[in-house]
Chain A
Amino acid sequence: MALEIIESCVNCWACAPLCPNQAIIPPAPREKRAGPPQAFLGPLGGERSDAAFSGGSHFLIDADKCTECVGDHADAQCVAICPIEGAILDELGVEMNPPGSLTGIPPERWAAAQAEIAAR
């Protein structure tokens, strides 16, 4: 039982401090992105040796640590604060915040607007 953050994550940091299991792994600083995971530097710039960085360009969830907040909170915390629709999936790959659920923009309206912009 674990959630997954995918590449549409915008690295806003909102989820990481809320996780009761410290299962959310921040992305690497750009210059360290190549090569093996290293000690991660915490949000204040100090060294945080307890976490490796994700090795990618966005936040990841450590599936071994994630409990989907069962026993800690009524709602999975990362899902409850994430501002990006579709960025967090459950084990079956289902979007926890489906299109339109956070912005209020109906998906068909979004598609029409994008098509209109592309046509300009």
Chain B
Amino acid sequence: MDLPVIAPEAPKAGGCSAGSCGSTASQVDGMSDEIRARVQDHPCYSEDAHHYFARMHVAVAPACNIQCHYCNRKYDCANESRPGVVSEVLTPAQAVKKTLVVAATIPQMTVLGIAGPGDPLANPERTFETFRQLAEKAPDIKLCVSTNGLALPAHVEELAKHNIDHVTITINCVDPDVGAKIYPWIFWKNKRIHGREGAAILIEQQQKGLEMLVARGILVKVNSVLIPGVNDQHLKEVSKIVKAKGAFLHNVMPLIAEAEHGTFYGVMGQRSPKPAELKELQDACAGDMNMMRHCRQCRADAVGLLGEDRGDEFTLDKIEAMEIDYAAAMQVRAELRAQVTAELEAKRQKAHAPATQVIQFMPRAEAAKPAGRPVLMAVAAKGGLVAVHFGHAREFLVYEASAAGAKFVGHRKAEQYCAGDETCGDGESVLDKTIRALEGCEVVLCSKIGFEPWGNLETAGIQPNGEHAMEPIEEAVMAVWNEMLAAGKLDAKPAAAKCA
């Protein structure tokens, strides 16, 4: 029986718990085997896994207990992809049906998260009822939750009881004076508490919740929103503290602020950080702990691989009409997971192998040779391969290539400028935007690229490269870097240094 509580078109709840998201291969490698085993099929916690495994969020939690300056509770738009935005709020029964349908349709969907559009723990009945039913009906799906942390200490026991293995806490500060510039109010013990006093309570509860989760062996990822001029330098301290308390991954995400969103920061003209600022801060924090850089800041009702939202295929109307055989689906899912896990393990072994094979004592002269500077390269990728046409790419993965290897450092969003021959009239400006988004990158790898964008990219100082189509990303990136090194291009600063 269909028991919707809220009409699909009616809810306009926005929200604030930032979407969950993950780590680079090398960072996962830096983890213990036990933790690696727990995150290897979680796209939001493992950078490797996110090429192969998908996640979904069910929007069962409309209420929130705090206000963040980057969130607007009125916002709802199907075309925007950012945390807190959602098109339909679901009842637990609807959420369970949707999850089973998606799991049967997308067998690589391994993770179900509740992330809003408000705060999951400000809606404990709905959140835990959804988890309870899913644990029973879909035991092969990992459950996780993303919270602002205010109500966390009160619910740690219950999270543990429902076998929630992964929790994300959004921690933007550990100093109430910084917090007062991010959180205008919280609702606490039957009162609305404004400003510094409210922020102090929130911070205290977040830290207490983090400690309690770690004590129970639950994996904790910390999300932070980088807000230039508000908490940018402060986040280094946040990173140190959460690491010391046992969080295993820190995900620093850029503030999204546009006047159209109607948020405080958007309307007041607070700027978002540039990609280079984000990378600089992530690099600074990386000395202290595992940093995650592949987060796509997804919606509270996102479905599919990170960066590719398939929510439209699973609206309430559509899922009601779908019948599934979950037992059969579980079988398919188990086979697929085993196959991908084996592939990933093989890849990891291969990545480690050269260390034992290549250790040779080099002649002194050769060892002293300059190793070549690091180069940022953008990749139009799918499934871990250089597999997307430049004009079809909705996003580019950015790798930093150096003598130490290829390191994933982030991603840049792009609009598809080539949507077919009819739309090519206004392709120009979209191409310009894409080129701007690639600022700081010296090379862009893709499966194919048209003549015109090739020329424009070269003019902008970005070398297009279509020679490594369908090769694994890291191998292709290192092949290009080695060519540049051999050609003597890596001795000095880049020629067209618009750089990051």
User: Which A residues are closer than 8 A to B by beta carbons?
Assistant: 10-14, 17-18, 26-31, 33, 41-46, 57-58, 73-75, 77, 80-81, 83-84, 102-105, 109-110, 113, 116-117
Closest 6 CB pairs of A and B: A30-B7, A14-B63, A45-B3, A10-B12, A83-B73, A45-B93
Q: Which residue of B is nearest A83, CB measured?
A: B73
Q: Which residue of A is nearest B185, CB measured?
A: A102
> Which residues of A are found within 8 Å of B4, using beta-carbon distances?
29-31, 41
How many Å from the CB of A117 to the closest CB on chain B?
6
Asked if B259 and A33 make an inter-chain contact with CB atoms under 8 angstroms apart, the answer reads no
**Size class of B's contact patch?**
35 or more
User: Which B residues are closer than 8 A to A by beta carbons?
Assistant: 3-14, 62-65, 67, 69, 72-74, 89, 91-94, 118, 122-123, 125-126, 129, 184-185, 187, 190-192, 259-260, 264, 266-268
How many Å from the CB of B301 to the closest CB on chain A?
15
Interface SS, A side: loop
> Which residues of A are found within 8 Å of B264, using beta-carbon distances?
103-105
Q: Which residue of B is nearest A44, CB measured?
A: B129
Asked if A75 and B9 make an inter-chain contact with CB atoms under 8 angstroms apart, the answer reads no
> Which residues of A are found within 8 Å of B67, using beta-carbon distances?
83, 102-103
How many Å from the CB of A42 to the closest CB on chain B?
7
Counting residue pairs across A and B whose Cβ atoms lie within 8 Å, the total is: 117
> Which of A26, A45, A103, A116 sits near B259, CB closer than 8 Å?
A116
Asked if A43 and B91 make an inter-chain contact with CB atoms under 8 angstroms apart, the answer reads yes
Asked if A10 and B185 make an inter-chain contact with CB atoms under 8 angstroms apart, the answer reads no
List, sorted by A's number, 21 A–B pairs whose CB atoms are closer than 8 Å: A11-B13, A12-B11, A14-B118, A14-B187, A29-B6, A30-B10, A41-B4, A43-B126, A44-B126, A45-B5, A58-B10, A80-B190, A80-B191, A81-B63, A84-B74, A102-B184, A103-B67, A104-B69, A104-B264, A105-B267, A113-B266
How many Å from the CB of B227 to the closest CB on chain A?
14
Asked if B13 and A81 make an inter-chain contact with CB atoms under 8 angstroms apart, the answer reads no
Distance, CA A27 to CA B12, complexed state (A): 13
How many Å from the CB of B2 to the closest CB on chain A?
9
Asked if A44 and B91 make an inter-chain contact with CB atoms under 8 angstroms apart, the answer reads yes
Distance, CA A81 to CA B186, complexed state (A): 8
How many Å from the CB of B121 to the closest CB on chain A?
13
Asked if B91 and A110 make an inter-chain contact with CB atoms under 8 angstroms apart, the answer reads no
Asked if A14 and B122 make an inter-chain contact with CB atoms under 8 angstroms apart, the answer reads yes
How many Å from the CB of B188 to the closest CB on chain A?
10
Asked if A13 and B10 make an inter-chain contact with CB atoms under 8 angstroms apart, the answer reads no
> Which of B63, B93, B122, B190 sits near A74, CB closer than 8 Å?
B190
